[in-house]
């Protein structure tokens, strides 16, 4: 029985000593409220390259790490049907060329001249027959036949003139359409050369020569080689605290033990429904020596900062609202800024008060 009493007495003494030793008074010092965010590095102007046409990769003109300029040639895509379409368009253009069809115009002009001569001849014959019919040498019905001949030749002459106008219009239209088709197919054939939209670096070549690709298939990733941005994911509960210009402290996995400063440059205003986060962009105030796209990082976005705040460690709080005084008396305190280790005391405690850590 004495052993048991001594054991419990020892435990009570240890608990009492622990409670007595783990006490603290509020202190004055700096405190910073920040929001945690995870993220990655992304090259400025970074984008996935897509072909403008479907086909087979015929040539690859780049490798990972290459520097490219705007309109630098990246890939060539082979498509047999487009080549045939271009050749057919060129053949049709040759067939429809206005100058190549000038003989049709010449033939019709000759026909018009013949129709004109016949009309003039029939007009002359009609005039002569008019004299004869007046002298009753020929009958009225015979004269009417000459009138009919003249009207027919006149109609044929006018019809030939209209036909020439229509032929010229058709030939001009066919000539222009065929040449437009040649330009269109040639332009489409140019689409089989994939070029860069930006000046930067080739970060990834996603396809190999001989592979089939479509307009929905990314074939490379290109972006700036000197300018980078930070892509952060911020929880929906913290998004209302975000604004442009806030300072960001960035820790990169590639630079252990170092931190870098950045500022928020853009807040995308739509939430990702799956992750319940918002995407925020930030820019380094000074870039780290070497950066690559997709480097992972962690960041603290500085919301507020005070240099002379009354604070106590967070572990001394009960539900972030109460503290434990002597004799286990709980007291409500009004709090202000909070970080991961300390909480600011607005009212309810002063520097002379002593609080105890809650026993859990």
Question: Per-residue pLDDT for the chain (360 aa), expressed as one digit of tens each?
Answer: 444 444 444 444 444 444 454 888 888 888 888 899 999 999 999 999 999 888 889 899 999 999 999 999 999 888 666 666 666 766 776 766 767 777 887 888 888 889 889 889 988 888 888 888 787 778 888 888 888 988 998 899 899 889 888 888 888 888 787 777 767 666 655 567 899 999 999 999 999 999 999 889 999 999 998 899 999 999 999 999 999 999 999 999 899 989 999 999 999 999 999 999 999 999 999 989 999 999 999 999 999 888 888 888 888 888 878 888 888 888 898 888 887 788 888 888 888 888 888 876
Give the helix ranges, DSSP H, for 71-139: 80-96, 102-134
The reported pLDDT for the residue numbered 10 is 45
The reported pLDDT for the residue numbered 267 is 96
Q: What share of the chain is helix, strand, coil (3-state, %, to 5)?
A: 35, 35, 30
The reported pLDDT for the residue numbered 302 is 92
| Phi, psi torsion values for 277, nearest 5 degrees | -130, 160
Q: Give the C-alpha separation, 283 to 226, whole Å.
A: 13
The reported pLDDT for the residue numbered 319 is 81
**pTM, full prediction:** 0.59
The reported pLDDT for the residue numbered 307 is 86
| Phi, psi torsion values for 348, nearest 5 degrees | 110, -20
The reported pLDDT for the residue numbered 89 is 64
CATH architecture, range 21-35+306-356 = Beta Barrel (2.40)
Strands 247-252 and 260-272: antiparallel
The reported pLDDT for the residue numbered 300 is 92
**Per CATH, which fold does 36-45+224-303 belong to?**
Elongation Factor Tu (Ef-tu); domain 3 (2.40.30)
Q: Strand, coil or helix: what is 196?
A: coil
The reported pLDDT for the residue numbered 11 is 45
Q: Give the C-alpha separation, 163 to 127, whole Å.
A: 29
The reported pLDDT for the residue numbered 83 is 63
Question: If you classify domain 49-77+194-221 with CATH, what class do you get?
Answer: mainly beta
The reported pLDDT for the residue numbered 93 is 66
């Amino acid at each position: 029985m004495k052993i048991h009493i001594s054991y419990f007495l020892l435990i009570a003494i240890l608990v009492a000593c622990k409670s007595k030793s783990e006490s603290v008074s509020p202190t004055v010092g700096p405190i910073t409220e920040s929001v945690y965010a995870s993220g990655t590095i992304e090259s400025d102007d970074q984008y996935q390259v897509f072909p403008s046409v479907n086909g087979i990769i015929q040539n690859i003109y780049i490798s990972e790490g290459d520097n490219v300029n705007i309109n630098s040639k990246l890939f060539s895509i082979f498509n047999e049907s487009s080549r045939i379409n271009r050749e057919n368009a060129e053949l049709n253009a040759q067939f429809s060329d206005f100058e190549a069809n000038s003989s049709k115009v010449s033939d019709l002009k000759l026909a018009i001249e013949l129709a004109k001569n016949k009309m003039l001849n029939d007009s002359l014959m009609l005039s002569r027959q008019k004299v004869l019919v007046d002298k009753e040498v020929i009958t009225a019905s015979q004269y009417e036949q000459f009138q009919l001949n003249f009207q027919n030749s006149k109609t044929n002459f006018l019809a030939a003139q209209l036909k020439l106008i229509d032929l010229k219009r058709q030939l001009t239209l066919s000539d222009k359409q065929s040449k437009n088709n040649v330009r269109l197919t040639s332009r489409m054939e140019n689409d089989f050369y994939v070029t860069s939209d930006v000046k930067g670096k080739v970060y990834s070549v996603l396809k190999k020569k001989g592979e089939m690709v479509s307009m929905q298939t990314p074939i490379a990733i290109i972006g700036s080689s000197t300018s980078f941005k930070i892509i952060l994911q911020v929880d929906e509960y913290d998004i209302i605290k975000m604004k442009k210009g806030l300072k960001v402290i960035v820790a990169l996995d590639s630079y252990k033990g170092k931190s870098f400063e950045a500022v928020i440059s853009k807040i995308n205003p739509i939430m990702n429904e799956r992750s319940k986060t918002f995407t925020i962009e930030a820019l380094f105030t000074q870039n780290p020596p070497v950066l690559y796209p997709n480097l992972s990082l962690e960041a603290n976005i500085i919301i507020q900062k005070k240099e002379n705040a009354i604070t106590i460690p967070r572990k001394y709080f009960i539900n972030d609202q109460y503290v434990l005084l002597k004799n286990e008396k709980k007291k409500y305190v009004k709090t202000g800024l909070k970080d991961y280790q300390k909480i600011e005391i607005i009212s309810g405690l002063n520097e002379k008060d002593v609080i105890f850590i809650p026993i859990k």
